[in-house]
Structure 1
Amino acid sequence: MGIFDYHEAFSRNVGWVTESEQQKLRQSRVAIGGLGGVGGVHLLTLARLGIGRFSIADFDVFETANFNRQIGAGVDTLGRPKIDVMGQMLRNINPEVDLRAFADGIQADSIDAFLDGVDVYVDGLDFFAFGARRMTFAACERKGIPVVTAAPLGLGTALVVFGPGGMSFEDYFGWDDGDELEMSVRFLVGLSPAMLQRGYVADSTRINLAERRGPSSMAACQLCAGVTAVDVLKLLLGRGGVRLAPWASQFDAYRMRLVRTWRPLGYRNPLQRLMIMLVKAQLNGMAKTPPSGRHHEP
């Protein structure tokens, strides 16, 4: 086994970035909350960009149900803490990485330490981790840390970026005056106002926000990691061109469609309020419809 050499390991990045920019990535710190479907592949994708410092948080272990989408899940990692497995995979890419691991996940008493010195926060939390997400986004807003969140919706990805100069998380999603189901719908619609994933659901009974369940795909998680990595790179290198909320983007690979939306007033925007009502109605209908084996069109 040869001696690890950072310059050689990430030399193929140069051309898309300059030598000096690669060194800036090496000195940058990215925090990732959650190491599941999107969080794990975020970590390894960003590591291969040559980012040299990470803060990661996760309290869960790998299970068989994770095999379809989580990059660290396999027979040999069943029952092992995700943070240990992903930390090992990270060090296999960059043995010199500066890694801070928070094995209790996102917690109020460690949030400041988790975000200490962080340049960009990447959201990899479970869709339904409302408390941890609100706490982390609020802390990032206080500290002026940009937040990149990409959701694997359908067979595509939806992207929203929060940061100084843009709309706040709370103003965009509006979680102050609703129960968990209301927050779920507002989060879903806020992430993907165009809702491109609605048109090809094969078995609608598998989707139930009230029961915290829905289908997932590794293809979508990989797409999330790609678009997230590009915006993280732009933010770290000051490249510009990152559209902050109330802008959102959704790319659906099944339909081969890209849609960008702008929702001033966030969840209060008339178009957004209408979509929230339509999604509630559709979810109610889908929950009552037996699977037909065919793709449902909107």
Structure 2
Amino acid sequence: MSRDIPSGFAFDYDRAFSRNIGWVTRDEQQRLRRARVAVAGLGGVGGAHVLTLSRLGIANFNIADFDEFDVHNMNRQAAAFMSSMGRPKIEVVAEMARDINPESDIRLFREGVTDANLDEFLKDVDVYVDSLDFFVLEVRRKVFRRCRELGIPAMTAAPLGMGTAFLYFSPTGMSFEDYFQVEGVAHEDQYARFIAGVSPAMLSRQYLVDPEAVNFKERRGPSTGMACELCAGVMGTNVLKLLLNRGPLRAAPWGMHFDAYRGTLKHTWRPGGNSHPLQRLLIALIKPVLRGR
């Protein structure tokens, strides 16, 4: 990432992203160039999001993360290499994005997203891409709430098994809070509601071969590189559609889950969010699993 550019090569934006033309027009490519995307969390999906969007030609980012790379990140995180071990994820991902597009304007929030910097993190942003760790639900709620207040579209793509579950929250549609309904709920039960809301179809549950690998008390669970890359592909496509106004996006309570292992795509519709009867049943089934029963 820090290597010198070989002689005879010079960066040129139009040439670098010329192979996008055809799927987007030249005018649309320039619109992508001017857009600004906020990405919170640069682990499994977050790093892949930034790199995928950079290759799409998006040149402006606000990115946030306070963590450093460790060996257990190697199986799924786009910027995890032995050369990046122990380094801040935010620095490595920013370097990689600038190595794709040296003209990138990247604002770094090295302490992660906090109450103190939330508005600055969302400043000038056209769309928010959520990739926060599963267990930081309170921070996630604050970011989605503030996006809605500021009129910023917000999207999340969860890596599940060998697939991805996607949700889009329009500033004028159903809110994150109304969909997940975790306000006033016991801390442990909030996670059950979040899992059920993110993945109403629960496509990956059938091929979990070692249930003991899921341990919510220790805040750990299995994840694959394939799922993270699928998240980035789905997210990048929907960011493109949103920024270029390429037709309507199905916002929550609609959701989409694609599982590559099963070769299955499901669109879900849960009016009322987690108050929907199917969701209440799913939450009841998830709660014992979280309690280790």
Q: TM-score, normalised by structure 2?
A: 0.95
> CA offsets per residue over residues 171-218 of structure 1, 9 Å max, x none?
101110222221111111101101011101110111122332110100
Which residue in the other structure is 1:219 paired with?
A: 226
Structure 2, unpaired ranges of 5+: 1-5
Asked if structure 1 preserves the Cα contact closer than 8 Å seen for 2:188 and 2:290, the reply is no
Which residue in the other structure is 2:22 paired with?
A: 15
Alignment of 1:79-94 (within 5 A): 79-94=86-101
Asked if structure 2 preserves the Cα contact closer than 8 Å seen for 1:59 and 1:81, the reply is yes
Alignment of 1:256-275 (within 5 A): 256-275=263-282
Partners of 1:210 and 1:142 in 2: how far apart? 33
How far did 1:271 drift? 1.1
Letter in 1 for 2:277: P
Query: 2:177 is matched with which residue: 170, 173, 183?
Result: 170
Which residue in the other structure is 1:191 paired with?
A: 198
Q: Which runs of 4+ in 1 moved over 6 A?
A: none
Which residue in the other structure is 1:126 paired with?
A: 133
Asked if structure 2 preserves the Cα contact closer than 8 Å seen for 1:102 and 1:114, the reply is yes
Secondary structure of 1:86's counterpart equals helix
Secondary structure of 1:211's counterpart equals coil
Query: 1:105 is matched with which residue: 112, 129, 132?
Result: 112
Secondary structure of 1:210's counterpart equals coil
Partners of 2:201 and 2:151 in 1: how far apart? 29
Asked if structure 2 preserves the Cα contact closer than 8 Å seen for 1:122 and 1:148, the reply is yes
Partners of 2:289 and 2:120 in 1: how far apart? 42
2:285 equivalent to 1:278:
yes
> CA offsets per residue over residues 144-174 of structure 1, 9 Å max, x none?
1011100001110000000123210001011
The two structures, once aligned, show a CA RMSD in angstroms of 1.1
Query: 2:42 is matched with which residue: 28, 35, 39?
Result: 35
How far did 1:131 drift? 2.0
Partners of 1:212 and 1:174 in 2: how far apart? 22
Which residue in the other structure is 2:3 paired with?
A: none
Letter in 1 for 2:76: R
Paired residue total: 286
Letter in 2 for 1:164: P
Which residue in the other structure is 2:68 paired with?
A: 61
Asked if structure 1 preserves the Cα contact closer than 8 Å seen for 2:149 and 2:171, the reply is no
Partners of 1:164 and 1:176 in 2: how far apart? 19
Query: 1:140 is matched with which residue: 130, 147, 154?
Result: 147
> CA offsets per residue over residues 18-75 of structure 1, 9 Å max, x none?
0000000000000000000000000000000000110000000001110111111111
Query: 1:239 is matched with which residue: 235, 246, 271?
Result: 246
Secondary structure of 2:79's counterpart equals coil
Partners of 1:180 and 1:69 in 2: how far apart? 28
Asked if structure 2 preserves the Cα contact closer than 8 Å seen for 1:174 and 1:186, the reply is yes
How far did 1:283 drift? 5.0
How far did 1:220 drift? 0.3
Query: 2:124 is matched with which residue: 99, 114, 117?
Result: 117
